[in-house]
Amino acid sequence: MVIRWTAVGLFSIALMGRCASGPPPAATVTAARPESPIAKAFADPSLFGPDIAAVVRMLPAFAEGGESRVMILPDRVVGTKRYATADEAQRTAKSVLDRGERVMSPTLPLPPPKGRLTAIDAMRSLDDRAIHVAAVLEGARFLAPGLRIDVVQQRLGAPEKHEQVVIDDGTDRHPLVLELYSYYGGAIVFATREGTLDPRTVDRVFVDTQRITAAVY
């Protein structure tokens, strides 16, 4: 919310019909938008990497393109929506690209990323063998290096919700098991992956594109 305070000019009227003007009306002052807890989380280098701004700038385009939720991996962003065909996913990818980046609020102190998310296309995910929309920035660091869930809890406190999700790709392969740690009503969800060398390592982060857009822009 933007709150405006307007100072009213003070005028004095002299006796005997003489007018003396007081100080001129003060200029309208617009208060800076307070930084939301969600914005602070994205700006925390203990949680997100130096190139996270490239993702945040494109979240409104993902939201408007029909991707209500995306997952952030170290160097890519993948929409969670499943598509029946590659052509359908490519149409969404083009829609996201056409919308392009949105200028962030100056109250969000994110460092400039090394590049932009311009390689957006359809891809078949190894997680579920389904077709998704993905954006890749080679060499990017969207997550803090070596991020662990205990660091997340040190920075953000205990999760509001903790649950396990199993993703089966329909083959004989062992299903993907993720432990989800939810914050800000599910707007940001950190996920660890079963079967890794360090089970406390954050594998990916799910974000609600519409809620993040509302909080940041």
What is the rounded CA–CA span in Å between residue 8 and residue 55? 44
- Asked whether residue 8 carries a pLDDT value surpassing 50, the answer given is no
Note the pLDDT of residue 110: 82
Q: What is the mean pLDDT of residues 5-22?
A: 36
- Per residue in 183-200, pLDDT (tens digit) is 999 999 999 999 888 999
Over range 85-109, report the average pLDDT. 84
Residue 62 phi/psi, 5-degree rounding, is -60, -45
Distance CA 87, CA 185 (A): 33
Q: Which two tokens stand for residue 51?
A: 């190139």
Helix (H) / strand (E) element for 59: namely helix 59-64
Mean pLDDT (the chain, rounded): 83
Average pLDDT over residues 93-115: 80
pLDDT in tens, 113-161: 888 888 899 999 988 899 999 998 888 999 999 999 999 999 999 999 9
Q: Which residue, 88, 69, 66, is CA-closest to 77?
A: 69
pTM reported for the whole predicted model: 0.81
Average pLDDT over residues 82-97: 94
The ranges assigned to domains in the chain are 37-216
Share of the chain above pLDDT 90, in %: 58
Q: Is the pLDDT confidence value at 70 over 70? A: yes
Tell me how many degrees the CA angle 204-210-213 measures, rounded to the nearest 5. 90
